[in-house]
Structure 1
Amino acid sequence: MLTIEAFEHKLKEKVKQARGVDIAGAADKDIYYAVAAIVQENMHENWHETKKAYEDQQERQVYYVSMEFLIGRLLESNLLNCGLRDVCHEALHRLGRSPEDIYAEEHDAGLGNGGLGRLAACFLDSMASLQYAGHGSGIRYRYGLFEQRIIHGNQVELPDYWLKETYPWETRKADEALTIHFGGEVDMHTRADGTLEFSPRNTDEVRAVPYDVPVAGYDNNVVNTLRLWSAELPPEDSHLLGDSESRYYHHLDHMHSIEQISGFLYPDDSNYEGKELRLKQQYFLVSATLQQIIGDFKRVHDLPLKQMHQKICVQINDTHPSLAVPELMRLLMDQEGLNWDDAWHVTRHTIAYTNHTTLSEALEKWPVDMIKHVLPRSFMIINEINERFCQGLWFDHPELRDKIPELAVIADDQVHMARLAIVGSFSVNGVAQLHTDILKKSEMKDFHELYPGKFNNKTNGITHRRWLLQVNTELADTISDAIGPQWIQQPSKLAGLLRYTNDNAFLQKLDQVKRNNKAKMTDIIQKQTGISVDPDSIFDVQIKRLHEYKRQLLNVFHVIYLYNEIKDNPAMDITPRTFIFAAKAAPGYYMAKEIIKLIHHVASVVNHDKDVKGRLKLIFMENYNVSLAESIIPAADLSEQISTAGKEASGTGNMKMMMNGALTVGTMDGANVEIHDLVGRDNIFIFGLSSSEIQQYRDEGSYNAKEIYHADDRVRRIMDQLNGGDFGSQEIEFKDIFYHILSHNDPYFVLKDFEDYIVTQEHVDSTFRIREKWQQKALVNIAYSGKFSSDRTIHEYAADIWNIAPVRFSTPSL
């Protein structure tokens, strides 16, 4: 452990070596790189020792394969996990530097989009902190999703080139590069033993180069690995430039496509080229990962490949990596010589699948012709899997014969990736109890009946080390002063706070901590938007991807409703409220972009109307990312989790804000259900239809949005304001939102839930006025939030799916 003096000395040395200047003349960026270098040195020996311990002890290893890892900035979290944050802070203060300014020099890694990627990042943190042999595998995107800018209320997407400066946490491993094949033809030969041999011909080759990022466990010297694959042109391909003219131009196209494979996350798939690129990305990830896994297994374990599943588990995060099923089969059969039955046994006992959605558009499907063209050998294997699966249904389950088209991996000239993942895995888990129940009873009912032991629930979690200990230091210190620091290692210990529910002095401390965080956020809002907000108002927060089912529109309707009430009665008594939105809309998602535009237009009216007198403020924070969330979440009073019931698989923003003392207003959806069951009805604001009620409306076709429009004056007034009234004009119109709701019968039940939402928000208003009562509820939420630590989730994965235990280290440095 470095002392403050030693850290300061090392820091000065690093700056001198790198920049040739004394630290007094160094820029914040120089100091950021110097601090990162010190942390890297601290981690590297432990990184090596961790790998060695796993291999020496022949540990079963887990590979978490995901298209996204939303890791955010790493400097502060690495300092924290390595036990150096306080030392670094003091050293920087002595040198007259602000730690916050140094941290801000790091660009958020552009490796993810939303909750899926942030969950993966939390899981990596927990696996290392709990001493599990678990690693991440993803793609090293050169560009993030996009950098969001708002121009005249419209979202504009700019490139997010997060790698334009050196990324200090990655180590390039060019000597471990692998080759990936696309396209071409498949030659089939009969071996001497009568078995078939398949070999590719005229393929396009891509070089997969790994970049390793260390994942430090908290206070335990364990360092696991996040391996990110970069697509590059194989150097030996240069001879192709001298071939025929047609081959030359094909090669140029191939070179261009290679740049795109690890170019950016989620290319636009509204056209054929975009779909094909997504398919290539997904295959690139799973092929590189599985080739590495098989190579490492053969090097480390003196076991036949028939037993690989005894030492390896591959957890695929959503449907994106589902090609792992045919690719593992291909590698085991074509490269390693296993027969079909042995390869299928290994595959079905190695791969586990996490489902994250009930949305049909998110359950990926690929055109058969596309897979045949891009991945000809993979399609042959998928087709064989489908044939054998469908024959099994026909002969062994005659009761399901009529449902074969709904269960088949290949149907309607499409390859259904979720079905492929279910058939080819040994475990299928949902991410909240309600979500898993919906999968079992509705969305995947037939598969559940076919494989009753395969489906299980693993409610999501968040790493409390980052989302409380790191981002809300004052609250963390207040908690530790009250109940001791044991909660940092055992988050369930947060329940010890319950004995302070009637302690006025402690409740006042919580209130002051929240007020301080809101004051900080007020400064950030002022700096970024130029708008002044009242830190004593309710900070009403909805931060998440912009999607119709998440119902930012319902929240905006509430703002318009309150504005109308004030206009009708300017002297009305209302608790001041600051509505904070942050969200990115997918570039091709028109309606989501229209909702962002509406939020800004409503803000331009509400924020400048003299009758409002500052009682309402509407803020949209552009370019939402992990770092922005780290500022907003500690300041939130009210957490908006208002998705249409049955649509949100889990949610993790609800957990983060709960842990930081915000109260949830939400539907009985996703993990809201489990939050409700823990904290009790009095400590959460629940409203709206249940998932079963919504399903009944859909089944019966009995919901009529136009009836509500005509019957509820408040709804009709708001809708008409969008359609050419106060919030519509010749220059700015929201007719599309108006007609979309009414012509599509309000598919997300915004109008149906409006009345209950308004009544519930009035209850929020009256409750917030009684500060002690509000803080009691906030305290109960913090106390029960330990249940939603990703440590608990990972323990459940480890015990129920992965069959691994924490590794005991005997080496001196560990």
Structure 2
Amino acid sequence: MGFQPFQLAELRTDKEGFKRSIATKLAYSIGKDPQTASRYDWYCALCLVLRDRLLSRWHDTQERIRTHESRRVYYLSLEFLMGRGMTNAAVNLDLDHDLRELIKEVGDTLEDVAGLEGDAGLGNGGLGRLAACFLDSMATLDIAGFGYGIRYDYGLFKQEIGPDGEQIEQPNRWLRRRNLWEIKREDIRYQIPIGGHCIAYRDAAGHIRYEWRDAQIVEAVAYDTPIPGNNGRTVNHLRLWGARDEQEIDLERFNRGDFAGALANKSAAESISYVLYPDDSTEEGKMLRIKQEYFFCSASLQDILREHLDAGYTLAALPDKVAIQLNDTHPALAIPELMRLLCDEHRMAWDQALDITCRTFNYTNHTLLPEALETWPVRLLEQVVPRHLEIIYGLNRHFLDEVNARFPNDGERRRRMSMVDESGHDGRQVRMAWLAAVCSGKVNGVAELHSRLVRETLFKDFAEFYPDKFVNVTNGVTPRRWLKVANPGLASLITGRIGRDWENHLERLQTLEELSGDEAFRAQFAQVKKDNKQHLAAFILRETGISIDTDSLFDVQIKRIHEYKRQMLNLLHVVTRYKRIKRDPDAGWVPRTVVIAGKAASGYLVAKSIIQLINNVASIINNDPDTSHLLKLVFVPNYNVSRAEIIIPAADLSEQISTAGMEASGTGNMKFALNGALTLGTLDGANVEILEEVGEDNIFIFGLTAEQVAQARSDGYYPIDIVRRNAELASVLQDISEGLFSPGDLRRFQPIVDRLLSDGEHFLVLADYDAYLEAQARVDDAFLDRDSWVGKSIINTARVGKFSSDRSIREYADNIWKVSPIG
């Protein structure tokens, strides 16, 4: 059943047509007239008008994909840190100027109306933000690329700071009002079996088949969000899955009065899509994480196969028409799920299914941290996905047979390369990164240093076995979100001087370097920074009650709170600086405002203690009349994309101080440099490549290299020896451990100091203390010459064109996915 082809009504994009569309939405979708409409009503109408125009281009994109039979890319990620949609959609549709003028006519501002939109609770940190940037770039480059993830009801927690400076986790009720950008696809639902057991039997032809019995059936429901490219007609989509129980309610139990029991299956099913990264320190938490990862992988793979078959292609042609990218190990269960669907549902032979699977998937590694390389206990996989465990065993046997053929009688190598770790601390464990590496066509790291370490350390045996499999694609960020949306003043200044081509060709910013000596341009550039600092200062005053000096150096570290990111090293400098100012307040200090933001995982107690210490130190420093005019410390709570868009354009200094060899890439470093901040960093992740681009005169590098870190660990690292040789450091640690910053609980932070002093402390915080302080002194000296600092800032913006996510996606398209623009 269907309509004959018909012409859709044209959606006008001129100012008058846009205005009429808004009035229509207010009247017929919101049920208000312009005279009685609230600011939120205007927001809703504007969102719907923009969404209509996105969907118009989405329909056109889908038609072009069908016509040109384009190869599709599917990006599987457990998180997508999207940020607000209104301004991003208006910018990419090139309607932001008209939208701003129309809102002004009704006595409001775009910033205030757009501010009513909460950040989508779909991501946490760099992994999710990278995924969002990549979706933006795929659409901008006219690539048929689509995201798959989970529609979390509450996302990651909302962070509040308690009376003692502690992190408090509250539900993030981002869906308490309807999400106007999404479209619920009632007709796209898939059944996901969980639990139960499998039996093997022979069919009439004598082939061994498997049947999955007694499983709970969870229903996956699709929700689509349109993803626009910039200044082009391509609009792709992000498809998210919500979990529902197939039966919803056990009516028989309900009628017997067992109301809680009647809803037990519904509650268990829906909990799968409740929160991002549930605490997995418990057995129940681990099982929920496995269920989440399998749930979205199964729904996504079923959907991909349905679309592929509906397009008239055979399953044998899947690798020629589809490329699936695994964003870290979270979606690795997609590999045995595709094998299950091909072998069990479509009756394909094992060897053919394996060949198709290995030519369809590719895997991005994002970490060398052991705790982030997922390993799941066999006993839990057996309870949640019994069929997949059998398939993983089969994949492992097949792979180890190949290893044995290449390296006979090398049992130690087989043990190291096995997907199943027989000596796990929690019983037998499946190494998900090994599974992803073996069964993917390409494995990539995300910065040149990281990719080298992946080959030489983490996957050394695999790189030797598959020498052509491992490649590098350095991460990037979308300039649309992180310059045009986040920093409209700088974007307008740049466009006024060099035109708009930089939006889709970020390397064109290089022409700004010629203007770094132009006195008028430097003054304008400095004024934009000043305006952004005033905007951040007003925001901080509203959020925290802390007043900061906009003429001070804004020293910023915003990222997930983790020991390897070394917020503690930053804090040790703050305390050291505070003590020095107290001793000699007239020493010609450069005023500093240190801004830190980030969330600690709910089960990561050390990171949560670091947040509390930051806030306790801030409470003392900010209220000390001897120092507060020279040093302020601010912790901005509930860090997210929208807050990053306020903080990053205002930063003078970008802190990227992770232990060398431990940060895969980092993308915050790229966003800061793009907005004219100078980097203070170790030779870690993409900092190495930023140094190559901007030059050593325009960046502050310090500390041990990755090789020196490895050597220190090998030789034996004893931080107590460093403290014995450094009286100033010893005094700082003593003040923290003995309660100078926690007068109500003198030993509150003793465990943090004990950890820093422990033999072999993994993150070598104290080993870099002296070098870090020396680098901070160089920062002070450089900031004293404001005119020179502005020149360095302009050069940073001009020279970071390499770090566009458009460049990253071109490399994926050419070297990994083998896809071309839709046309």
- Which range, TM-score by smaller chain? over 0.9
Indicate the residue corresponding to 2:575 in structure 1: 560
Indicate the residue corresponding to 1:96 in structure 2: 107
Give, in angstroms, the shift of residue 776 of structure 1: 1.4
Corresponding letter in the other structure for 1:254 = N
Give, in angstroms, the shift of residue 532 of structure 1: 1.0
Distance in 1 between residues matched to 2:787 and 2:666, nearest whole Å: 28
3-state SS of paired residue (1:619): strand
The answer as to 2:722 corresponding to 1:722 is: no
Distance in 2 between residues matched to 1:770 and 1:195, nearest whole Å: 78
| Alpha-carbon contact 2:249-2:265 (below 8 Å) kept | no
Which of 388, 392, 402 is the aligned partner of 2:398? 388
Indicate the residue corresponding to 1:735 in structure 2: 750
Bigger mean CA deviation after superposition, 23-32 or 555-564: 23-32
Give, in angstroms, the shift of residue 430 of structure 1: 0.4
Give, in angstroms, the shift of residue 55 of structure 1: 1.7
Distance in 2 between residues matched to 1:236 and 1:614, nearest whole Å: 60
Bigger mean CA deviation after superposition, 563-572 or 205-214: 563-572
State the TM-score, normalized to the length of structure 1: 0.97
Distance in 1 between residues matched to 2:248 and 2:115, nearest whole Å: 41
Give, in angstroms, the shift of residue 269 of structure 1: 0.3
Give, in angstroms, the shift of residue 804 of structure 1: 0.2
Alpha carbons of 1:776 and 1:236: their partners in 2 closer, same or farther (altered >3 Å)?
closer
Alpha carbons of 1:111 and 1:516: their partners in 2 closer, same or farther (altered >3 Å)?
same
CA deviations on 1:287-335 (whole Å, 9 max, x unpaired) are: 0000011111111033x31221110111010000000111100000001
Bigger mean CA deviation after superposition, 410-419 or 499-508: 499-508
Alpha carbons of 1:597 and 1:282: their partners in 2 closer, same or farther (altered >3 Å)?
same
| Alpha-carbon contact 2:444-2:471 (below 8 Å) kept | yes
Indicate the residue corresponding to 1:444 in structure 2: 459
Which of 534, 538, 558 is the aligned partner of 2:553? 538
Distance in 2 between residues matched to 1:251 and 1:438, nearest whole Å: 52
Which of 670, 693, 696 is the aligned partner of 1:655? 670
Corresponding letter in the other structure for 2:731 = R
Give, in angstroms, the shift of residue 19 of structure 1: 4.5
Indicate the residue corresponding to 1:272 in structure 2: 283
Give, in angstroms, the shift of residue 529 of structure 1: 1.2
Indicate the residue corresponding to 2:681 in structure 1: 666
Give, in angstroms, the shift of residue 7 of structure 1: 2.2
| Alpha-carbon contact 1:494-1:782 (below 8 Å) kept | yes
CA deviations on 1:239-286 (whole Å, 9 max, x unpaired) are: 78599999x998754322211101110111001000000000000011
3-state SS of paired residue (1:719): helix
Indicate the residue corresponding to 2:3 in structure 1: none
Indicate the residue corresponding to 2:22 in structure 1: 11
The answer as to 2:436 corresponding to 1:421 is: yes
Bigger mean CA deviation after superposition, 2-11 or 344-353: 2-11
CA deviations on 1:202-236 (whole Å, 9 max, x unpaired) are: 11101000001100111112110100001111148
Alpha carbons of 1:180 and 1:245: their partners in 2 closer, same or farther (altered >3 Å)?
farther
| Alpha-carbon contact 2:739-2:745 (below 8 Å) kept | no
Bigger mean CA deviation after superposition, 571-580 or 396-405: 396-405
Which of 763, 766, 770 is the aligned partner of 1:755? 770
Which of 137, 148, 155 is the aligned partner of 1:137? 148
Indicate the residue corresponding to 2:387 in structure 1: 377
Identity over aligned residues, as a percent? 44
Indicate the residue corresponding to 1:812 in structure 2: none
Indicate the residue corresponding to 2:80 in structure 1: 69
| Alpha-carbon contact 2:446-2:473 (below 8 Å) kept | yes
Indicate the residue corresponding to 2:425 in structure 1: none
The answer as to 2:106 corresponding to 1:106 is: no
Indicate the residue corresponding to 1:707 in structure 2: 721
Corresponding letter in the other structure for 1:226 = L
Corresponding letter in the other structure for 2:26 = V
Distance in 1 between residues matched to 2:730 and 2:443, nearest whole Å: 44
Which of 388, 399, 410 is the aligned partner of 2:420? 410
Give, in angstroms, the shift of residue 17 of structure 1: 2.8
Distance in 2 between residues matched to 1:173 and 1:445, nearest whole Å: 44
Indicate the residue corresponding to 1:811 in structure 2: none
Indicate the residue corresponding to 2:180 in structure 1: 168
Distance in 2 between residues matched to 1:754 and 1:264, nearest whole Å: 38
| Alpha-carbon contact 1:347-1:424 (below 8 Å) kept | yes
Corresponding letter in the other structure for 2:672 = M
3-state SS of paired residue (2:800): helix
Alpha carbons of 1:609 and 1:276: their partners in 2 closer, same or farther (altered >3 Å)?
same
Distance in 2 between residues matched to 1:242 and 1:580, nearest whole Å: 53
Give, in angstroms, the shift of residue 25 of structure 1: 2.7
CA deviations on 1:103-161 (whole Å, 9 max, x unpaired) are: 01111000000000000000000000110010000000000110000012010000001
3-state SS of paired residue (2:324): strand
The answer as to 2:375 corresponding to 1:365 is: yes
Corresponding letter in the other structure for 2:437 = I
Distance in 2 between residues matched to 1:601 and 1:187, nearest whole Å: 58
The answer as to 2:688 corresponding to 1:678 is: no
Name structure 1 gaps, 5 residues minimum: 809-814
Which of 229, 250, 270 is the aligned partner of 1:217? 229
The answer as to 2:808 corresponding to 1:798 is: no
Alpha carbons of 1:244 and 1:32: their partners in 2 closer, same or farther (altered >3 Å)?
closer
Give, in angstroms, the shift of residue 83 of structure 1: 1.5
Which of 19, 27, 36 is the aligned partner of 2:47? 36
Give, in angstroms, the shift of residue 360 of structure 1: 0.3
Give, in angstroms, the shift of residue 20 of structure 1: 4.0
Which of 314, 327, 333 is the aligned partner of 1:323? 333
Distance in 1 between residues matched to 2:54 and 2:517, nearest whole Å: 44
**How many pairs does the alignment contain?**
805
Corresponding letter in the other structure for 1:52 = E
Distance in 2 between residues matched to 1:76 and 1:730, nearest whole Å: 45
Indicate the residue corresponding to 1:313 in structure 2: 323
Give, in angstroms, the shift of residue 618 of structure 1: 0.6
Bigger mean CA deviation after superposition, 476-485 or 679-688: 476-485
Corresponding letter in the other structure for 1:203 = A
Distance in 2 between residues matched to 1:95 and 1:330, nearest whole Å: 57
3-state SS of paired residue (1:668): coil
Distance in 2 between residues matched to 1:789 and 1:453, nearest whole Å: 26
Distance in 2 between residues matched to 1:549 and 1:180, nearest whole Å: 37
Indicate the residue corresponding to 1:198 in structure 2: 210
Corresponding letter in the other structure for 2:23 = K
Q: Provide the alpha-carbon RMSD of the alignment.
A: 1.8
Which of 142, 159, 165 is the aligned partner of 1:148? 159
3-state SS of paired residue (1:764): helix
Alpha carbons of 1:236 and 1:721: their partners in 2 closer, same or farther (altered >3 Å)?
closer
Name structure 2 gaps, 5 residues minimum: 1-11, 423-427
Distance in 1 between residues matched to 2:617 and 2:195, nearest whole Å: 51
Give, in angstroms, the shift of residue 372 of structure 1: 1.1
Alpha carbons of 1:290 and 1:19: their partners in 2 closer, same or farther (altered >3 Å)?
closer
Distance in 1 between residues matched to 2:752 and 2:781, nearest whole Å: 32
Give, in angstroms, the shift of residue 12 of structure 1: 2.7
3-state SS of paired residue (1:175): strand
CA deviations on 1:324-348 (whole Å, 9 max, x unpaired) are: 1111000000011110100000000
| Alpha-carbon contact 1:129-1:220 (below 8 Å) kept | yes
The answer as to 2:134 corresponding to 1:123 is: yes
Distance in 1 between residues matched to 2:759 and 2:176, nearest whole Å: 44
The answer as to 2:482 corresponding to 1:467 is: yes
| Alpha-carbon contact 1:58-1:301 (below 8 Å) kept | no
After TM superposition, list the pairs within 5 Å mapping 1:595-674 onto structure 2: 595-674=610-689
Indicate the residue corresponding to 2:450 in structure 1: 435
Corresponding letter in the other structure for 1:707 = D
3-state SS of paired residue (2:557): strand
Distance in 1 between residues matched to 2:201 and 2:254, nearest whole Å: 30
The answer as to 2:244 corresponding to 1:232 is: yes
Corresponding letter in the other structure for 1:468 = L
State the TM-score, normalized to the length of structure 2: 0.96
Give, in angstroms, the shift of residue 61 of structure 1: 0.4
Bigger mean CA deviation after superposition, 190-199 or 207-216: 190-199
Distance in 2 between residues matched to 1:250 and 1:670, nearest whole Å: 51
